[in-house]
């Protein structure tokens, strides 16, 4: 994994407007914003450009020095990790509420970090409000920056100060190319999406807990692994519409769907111990409609195996022994039968690549990255026109399309018009006369000859 230079993190207690400032600085609505304290929980990264220089901006969760529950403790841990990896810290304060005891503790913590700290007082919406800023000088600060993140007041001055503070020697490192492979990790809440992303990162950058709905934002995570560049979108869990009861959750699901639209490969994580639920099928159909490379990860496979054996199993043992034990297990939930069960449930989306994992123990995870690479290769594959038509001719000779209204349907010519997803256009004398079962026949033949494993195919007909 490559290291990130010139990292600027926004730090502050809950509900002071960190995500609003984050969105304002990067110039787009990337982070979820609400009036509910604690909306941001993970570290959210984005590239920022100002005055000819680049830097990485990080939005963090509300910092509580004395967390009252496990989730708040995890948020605190994420914030401390952000402080440790940053070059510059933007300490955001609430101008309307004045200095609080938590603000004083955060100020003491940031001084000890030996990083450049920029003190920003938010929610100063008018010239009269600037009098509120004076109270914050008790923190022993030489300079304060009054801003209104909502209205964009004072933002330029903060950006100018950030640019002064970053390391100019690292400018060249900040030229960020578009990642080669974009992957959205999607699924219902609490199926292990963030644990899977953390496995690839090699650190607990994405907050993981047993509380459903821990991830609220859709997080963009850039990695370079063995020379390949990846952009992972770790998304919020997508629940049934009938169970969405807050505006916050509705917004987070909207962010998840936007991430799905941007990716090349979608990884649907399901809970293997629960099977393929109706909601899993709805998400699978969404992936199919968007035309994305499709990998289904049956996570928590250790729970299935444990239930089969009715005893605990050491998953640190070799995968070969484990796979052998699964194949030899009687019952409907053996690995092979479970694979068939999933494909039956998927129906016309049975082209998906399926892999069984336990993100908690690491079982099966080594095979996920090669599968992502393979799926990306398939969805970007292009077939030469001559080769395609050579095979098309033989397919039509073996199985002619049925007559339409007493007239012969003639297949003339075909070519691939695009990738992501692969789309084929076939010329015929009667486009409206191509029966649906014949379309399925041609798709089957294309897959048999050219692969396209794990990706949807689009076939259109033109006169």
DSSP string, 368-423: HHHHHHHHHHHHT----HHHHHHHHHHHHHHSPPPPBTTB---EEEEEEEETTTTE
Query: Where does CATH 3.30.300.20 sit in the chain?
Result: 385-462
- The CATH H-level superfamily of 181-379 is P-loop containing nucleotide triphosphate hydrolases (3.40.50.300)
Its sign, for the CA torsion 278, 282, 287, 289, is positive
Which pLDDT does position 378 carry in this prediction? Answer: 96
Q: What is the pTM of this model?
A: 0.61
Q: What is the mean pLDDT of each run of 10 residues along the chain (463 residues)?
A: 67 89 81 45 72 84 76 76 85 91 90 88 80 88 90 89 77 49 90 86 55 51 80 76 52 71 93 90 94 95 71 42 44 71 92 93 90 95 93 95 90 92 94 93 96 96 91
Which pLDDT does position 242 carry in this prediction? Answer: 56
Q: How far apart are CA 107 and CA 94, in angstroms?
A: 14
CB 376 within 8 A of CB 293: yes
Which pLDDT does position 454 carry in this prediction? Answer: 96
Of 118, 104, 113, nearest in space to 82 by CA:
113
Partnered with residue 61 across adjacent β-strands are none
Q: Under CATH, what is the fold of the domain 385-462?
A: GMP Synthetase; Chain A, domain 3 (3.30.300)
Which pLDDT does position 371 carry in this prediction? Answer: 95
What's the gap between Cα 78 and its chain centre? 18
Other CB atoms closer than 10 Å to residue 37's CB: what's the count? 13
- Check whether domain 7-174 has CATH 1.10.287.540, yes or no: no
Query: Where does CATH 3.40.50.300 sit in the chain?
Result: 7-174, 181-379
């Amino acid at each position: 994994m490559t290291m990130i230079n010139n990292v600027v993190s926004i730090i502050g207690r809950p509900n002071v407007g960190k995500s609003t400032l984050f969105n304002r600085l990067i110039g787009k609505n990337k982070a979820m914003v609400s009036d509910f304290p604690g909306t941001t929980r993970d570290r959210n990264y984005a590239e920022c450009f100002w005055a000819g220089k680049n830097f990485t901006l990080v939005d963090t969760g509300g910092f509580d020095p004395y967390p009252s529950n496990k989730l708040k403790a995890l948020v605190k841990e994420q914030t401390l990790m952000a402080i440790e990896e940053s070059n510059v810290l933007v300490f955001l304060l609430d101008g309307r509420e004045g200095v609080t005891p938590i603000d004083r503790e955060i100020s003491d913590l940031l001084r000890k970090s030996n990083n450049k700290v920029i003190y920003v007082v938010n929610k100063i919406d008018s010239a009269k409000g600037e009098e509120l800023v004076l109270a914050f000088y008790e923190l022993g600060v030489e300079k304060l920056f009054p801003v209104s993140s909502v209205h964009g007041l004072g933002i330029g001055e903060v950006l100018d100060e950030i640019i002064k503070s970053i390391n100019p020697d690292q400018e060249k490192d900040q030229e960020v190319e578009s990642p080669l492979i974009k992957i959205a990790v999607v699924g219902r809440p609490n199926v292990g999406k963030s644990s899977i992303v953390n496995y690839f990162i090699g650190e607990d950058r994405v907050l993981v807990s047993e509380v459903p709905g821990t991830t609220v934002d859709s997080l963009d995570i850039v990695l370079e692994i063995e020379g390949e560049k990846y952009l992972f979108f770790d998304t919020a869990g997508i629940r049934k519409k009938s169970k969405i009861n807050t505006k916050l959750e509705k917004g987070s699901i909207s962010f998840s769907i936007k991430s799905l639209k941007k990716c090349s490969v979608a990884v649907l994580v399901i809970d293997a111990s629960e099977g393929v639920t109706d909601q899993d099928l709805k998400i699978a159909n969404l992936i199919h409609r968007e035309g994305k490379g499709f990998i289904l990860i049956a996570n928590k496979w250790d729970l299935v195996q444990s239930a089969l054996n009715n005893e605990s199993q050491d998953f640190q043992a070799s995968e070969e022994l484990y796979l052998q034990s699964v194949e030899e297990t009687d019952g409907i939930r053996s690995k092979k039968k479970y694979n068939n069960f999933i494909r039956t449930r998927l129906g016309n989306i049975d082209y998906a690549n399926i892999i069984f994992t336990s993100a908690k123990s690491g079982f099966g995870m080594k095979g996920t990255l090669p599968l992502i690479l393979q799926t990306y290769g398939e969805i970007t594959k292009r077939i030469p026109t001559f080769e395609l038509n050579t095979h098309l001719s033989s397919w039509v000779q073996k199985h002619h399309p049925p007559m339409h209204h007493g007239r012969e349907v003639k297949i003339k010519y075909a070519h691939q018009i695009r990738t992501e997803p692969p789309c084929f256009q076939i010329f015929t004398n009667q486009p409206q006369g191509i029966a649906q079962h014949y379309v399925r026949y041609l798709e089957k033949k294309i897959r048999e000859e050219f692969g396209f494993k794990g990706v949807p195919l689009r076939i259109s007909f033109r006169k």
